[in-house]
């Protein structure tokens, strides 16, 4: 069973107070509630909180140094974390592409050749297929289902996950960003923790 950490990353001595307050407000009972009280002790990689999560395995190795950012992809960020946790708790490797991750369609489905090369975002992973919502100017709003081998994952900095440079032609109007409070994120995380504990 995984151990869940809720860590206040304020990076100054007020972190202990904020961590206690958050623990009390969220009634955090199924996770370790901690804090980082110095900026030099913060991780030098990944994202934290609303910007994504760092996920470690049982040996404290990073499985994901930065999941999808909630502030960028909203609820898909939770599906990203859930996909990783579901795989790891089942003793499997995380999916090659998770919900909330950007990719480029390298091999279009039969009859949809016009979508080859289009950027998209993974919406779901089910039965070995990815549901990709396309974001390019000529494909905006279209969904395709493809195997993971048909896409190339794009890192959050715009480069391909395999290290090759990438320029993404994304229609920014198709990406909606809604800033929400971290409390909403922790509420959903507590629900995920409780669900995993109960075997849901």
The C-alpha atoms of residue 172 and residue 9 are separated, in whole angstroms, by: 30
pLDDT tens across 35-61, in order? 888 888 877 766 556 667 778 777 778
Report the candidate in 127, 31, 30 with the shortest Cα–Cα distance to residue 8: 31
Mean pLDDT of 124-129: 93
More confident residue, 180 or 94: 94
pLDDT higher than threshold 80 for residue 195: no
List beta partners, residue 103: 120, 153
- Average pLDDT value over all residues in the chain: 77
The C-alpha atoms of residue 65 and residue 63 are separated, in whole angstroms, by: 7
Domain at 43-197: CATH code: 2.30.30.30
Q: What is the DSSP letter of 174?
A: G
- The domain locations on the chain are 43-197
pTM: 0.68
Report the candidate in 156, 109, 155, 110 with the shortest Cα–Cα distance to residue 134: 109
pLDDT tens across 69-102, in order? 888 888 898 899 899 988 888 888 889 999 999 9
pLDDT higher than threshold 50 for residue 134: yes
Query: CB count, 10 Å around CB of 126?
Result: 8
């Amino acid at each position: 069973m995984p151990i869940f950490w809720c860590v206040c990353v304020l990076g100054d001595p007020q972190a202990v107070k904020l961590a206690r307050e958050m623990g009390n407000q969220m009634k955090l009972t199924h996770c370790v509630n901690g804090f980082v009280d110095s900026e030099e002790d913060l991780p030098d990689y990944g994202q934290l909180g609303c910007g994504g999560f760092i996920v470690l395995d049982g040996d404290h190795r990073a499985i994901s140094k930065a999941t999808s950012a909630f502030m960028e992809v909203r609820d898909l960020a939770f599906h990203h974390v859930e996909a990783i946790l579901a795989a790891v708790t089942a003793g499997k490797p995380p999916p090659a592409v998770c919900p909330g991750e950007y990719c480029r369609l390298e091999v279009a489905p039969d009859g949809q050749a016009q979508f080859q090369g289009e950027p998209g975002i993974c919406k779901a992973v089910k039965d070995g297929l990815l549901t990709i919502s396309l974001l390019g100017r000529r494909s905006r709003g279209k969904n395709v289902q493809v195997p993971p081998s048909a896409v190339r994952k794009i890192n959050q900095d715009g480069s391909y996950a395999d290290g090759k440079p990438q320029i993404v032609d994304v229609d920014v109007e198709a990406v909606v960003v809604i800033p929400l409070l971290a409390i909403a994120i922790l509420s959903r995380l507590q629900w995920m923790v409780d669900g995993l504990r109960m075997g849901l």
